[in-house]
Structure formats: C-alpha cells, structure tokens
Amino acid sequence: MIDKVVRASSPREAAARAVADIPSGATLIVGGFGLCGIPESLILALSERPVKDLVCVSNNCGVDDWGLGILLGKRMIRKMVSSYVGENAEFERQYLSGELELEFAPQGTLAERIRAGGAGIAGFYTPTGVGTIVAEGKETRVLDGREVVLEKGIVGDFALVAAWKADRLGNLVYRKAARNFNPMAATAGRVTVAEVEELVEVGELDPDGIHTPGVFVNRVVVAPRAKRIERRTVRKA
C-alpha cells in the first residue's frame, strides 16, 4: 500500500524526519508568496539542522523572524533566487555586505522557470528583462521582430510546499491564495515534501479538484500552521 505520510509522535517530529536528509549545499525550491502558503513547519525543522550553503529558490525570503528569514538569520543560505526581497532587513544587510548571493528574476519569469523545470523544459525565451541587469550574461536573440532573453528552467534537489489537504498517495489541494507558487514548486523538486493541514482518505478528494497529483510528491507531513499575516490592513471603525 502506498503511504507517503511521515508518521511520528508529533507534527514537529514528523517535520524533522521529512527534512532530515537535506544536506549542506542543496538547492531548495520553496513555495509561498510573502508569508502566505509557506511550509513553515518544514522550514522550522530545517532550521534546527546543522546545514549551510543552501541555495533557495522562492518568490521572497520571508521576514526577519519567520519563513525563510529564519534560515537566513542562522546563516544557512548562501544564495537566493527571488523576485522580491523588500520585507527583510537582514536580507538587505547580508546582501549589501557581500555575505549573500542574489539572483533576481521577474516574478512571472521565476514562476515559469520553476514550471519549466518541473515539465522537463531546459529553457525558454521571454522579452521580460531585456535591456536590464536581469539579461546580463544571458543569451538574447530576436524572434518575430522582438528581442528576447533565454531563461533556464530550475530543478531543485528538494521542493518544500504547503497545501491545505492531502491523501496518503500525496495528492494535494491548495486553498485560495496559498496556491501561489506551490503547484509549480511541487513539480520541480527531485524530492518533494508537502506540509498539509488536513489528511483525508483516498477517494475523498474530487479528482477534478486535485491541484498537484501525488506522482510529484514524495513525503507528506501533517502539521498545524500559524499563518502569520505579513501586513495587516484594516479599515477604521
């Protein structure tokens, strides 16, 4: 019987087991947008391991004390491949001091690079970034009268994603905005670990509503999430 759920006496122990083989120097593709839909339990578990020199591919690097910002604060990340890094003061400090490598990618380009990696596509041409630092050192050509730049697909040693529901086969369903980068990330890891809020029986998920088929997922961890809000905006009473 196929069962991809990591069993343990507690969610914390399950998360620790799920990331126990991530080595120093690994490339991680991490789902999430800001603090929405991030695999926070897996990140916390990884932060307790003695690894370093990680390359993290993610839309952003969390905030100073949450999400990937935790790994950054512990000097576990050597390089970030990101679209937006403006919410993290420690990121700014490490980058400007030369402690952290940074590869900027336009947000749509980053999403497509991850999707391409998961689909086995080595690269693609896009006009986004032509004439900017994004295109420096990359091949460019003119297609249909428009200059375009070659972007390479990204495949990670591990992908860490967060989903709403899963079954033991690894089929995943995301909820609302937490869907963001997670579906692409889940396909682009050689080993994909999914952190989920709810485990259901096989057959309970509507086949038409499954966002990530279980064939892409290697491990499932059931864990509650804090779901911190990055910026709370409310109307005056």
Q: What CATH number did the domain enclosing 41 receive? A: 3.40.1080.10
Q: Would you say residue 169 lies in a domain?
A: yes
Q: What is the DSSP letter of 128?
A: T
What is the rounded CA–CA span in Å between residue 218 and residue 170? 7
pLDDT (0 to 100) of residue 179: 95
Q: Would you say residue 37 lies in a domain?
A: yes
The tokens of 6 are what? Answer: 């990591």
Q: Would you say residue 38 lies in a domain?
A: yes
Q: Would you say residue 112 lies in a domain?
A: yes
Q: Would you say residue 6 lies in a domain?
A: no
Q: Would you say residue 237 lies in a domain?
A: no
The per-residue b/e assignment along 164-180, b for 16 or more CB within 10 angstroms, e otherwise, is bbbbbbbbbbbeeebbb
Q: Would you say residue 3 lies in a domain?
A: no
Q: Where are the beta strands (DSSP E) in 153-214?
A: 156-166, 172-173, 189-199
Q: pTM surpassing 0.75?
A: yes
Structural domain boundaries enclosing 186: 11-121+153-222
Closest listed residue to residue 183, CA positions, set 159, 157, 154, 148: 159
Domain total for the chain? 1
Strand 123-126 versus strand 146-152 pairing type: antiparallel
Q: Which amino acid appears at position 7 of this protein?
A: R
The tokens of 21 are what? Answer: 């083989």
Identify the residue whose tokens are 């091949």. Answer: 139
What is the rounded CA–CA span in Å between residue 60 and residue 31? 10
Taking the chain (237 residues) in runs of 10, the rounded mean pLDDT of each run is 96 98 98 95 97 97 93 97 89 94 96 98 98 95 97 98 98 96 98 98 97 98 90 85
Q: Would you say residue 186 lies in a domain?
A: yes
What is the rounded CA–CA span in Å between residue 134 and residue 113? 14
CA 162, distance to chain mean position in Å, is: 9
